[in-house]
């Protein structure tokens, strides 16, 4: 199967899964921003996206996309390093035409992955998972697994989680800003002229998404200080 056997096929899998994950992040950011306006409205969304069958199907699909994206990312990285051999050690200075993010996608990917584990522990394990297993592993004051508004307020009242999420989202910005335009390059939608345009569009789009997430983090952090 060419999607697995060829380098181009593996890049296509990376691009398609990456595009789907960017769309999910956009939805997730918009959903989180509702908490800035109304905690009750946010909890309504949490209840709608709880352990209902459609939400579980979506969660399973999202998990498959993330696994494929991470597996193929490591696969391509190992393949590229084997292809370059010792040549990469002969280069003492990074060419100006090569982005910093493009040379550090593996490190950025690892940071993003660790951040995901922290995020799952803070939210998914105390919300949808508790609905699935009918558990009671809630934080003190949380009124059931759909009380996401309280969980956001509780989590981001802790300064160390604010630091962790800031680092995570910064790494995600670098990862996505490179992945956005390279996705179009992989599928052949980026020529010499459009590559720079996609870079600009990607930087703007990804910045808005990351700022949306950060606005929730810092809004509730500073609110906890008042």
The pLDDT tens digits along the chain (226 residues) read 655 666 677 778 888 888 899 999 999 999 999 999 999 999 999 999 998 999 999 999 999 999 998 888 777 777 766 666 544 444 444 444 346 666 677 788 889 999 999 999 999 999 999 999 999 989 999 999 999 999 999 999 999 999 999 999 999 999 888 877 777 777 666 666 777 788 888 899 999 999 999 999 999 999 999 8
Between CA 117 and CA 93 the distance in angstroms is: 34
Half-sphere exposure of 52 (CA within 13 A, CB side): 9
Between CA 39 and CA 220 the distance in angstroms is: 11
Instruction: Give 97: exposed, middle or buried? Use CB within 10 Å, 0-12, 13-18, 19+.
Output: exposed
Between CA 128 and CA 142 the distance in angstroms is: 14
Q: Residues for the chain: how many in total?
A: 226
Contact status, residue 48 vs residue 127, Cβ threshold 8 Å: no
Class of the domain covering 2-83+96-225: mainly alpha
pTM of the model: 0.85
Between CA 175 and CA 113 the distance in angstroms is: 11
Between CA 63 and CA 70 the distance in angstroms is: 11
Tens of pLDDT, residues 141-192? 999 999 999 999 999 999 999 999 999 999 999 988 887 777 777 766 666 6
- Give me 209's structure tokens: 């998404």
Using the Cα atoms of residue 96, residue 99, residue 102 and residue 104 in order, give the sign of their dihedral. Answer: positive
Domain ranges of the chain: 2-83+96-225
């Amino acid at each position: 199967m060419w999607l697995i056997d060829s380098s181009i096929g593996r890049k296509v899998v990376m691009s398609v899964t990456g595009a789907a994950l960017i769309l999910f992040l956009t939805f997730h950011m918009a959903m989180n921003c509702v908490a800035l306006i109304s905690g009750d409205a946010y909890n309504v969304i949490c209840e709608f996206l709880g352990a209902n069958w459609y939400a579980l199907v979506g969660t399973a699909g999202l998990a498959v996309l993330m696994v494929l994206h991470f597996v193929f990312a490591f696969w391509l990285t190992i393949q590229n390093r084997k292809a370059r051999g010792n040549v990469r050690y002969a280069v003492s200075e990074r060419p100006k035409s090569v982005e910093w993010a493009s040379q550090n996608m593996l490190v950025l990917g690892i940071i993003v992955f660790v951040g995901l584990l922290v995020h799952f522990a803070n939210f998914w394990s105390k919300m949808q998972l508790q609905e699935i297993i009918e558990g009671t592993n809630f934080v003190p004051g949380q009124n059931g697994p759909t009380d996401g508004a309280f969980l956001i307020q509780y989590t981001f009242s802790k300064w160390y989680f604010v630091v962790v999420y800031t680092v995570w989202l910064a790494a995600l910005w670098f990862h996505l800003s490179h992945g956005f335009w390279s996705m179009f390059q992989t599928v052949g939608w980026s020529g010499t002229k459009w590559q720079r345009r996609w870079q600009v569009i990607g930087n703007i789009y990804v910045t808005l998404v990351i700022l949306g997430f950060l606005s929730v983090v810092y809004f509730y952090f500073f609110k906890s200080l008042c």
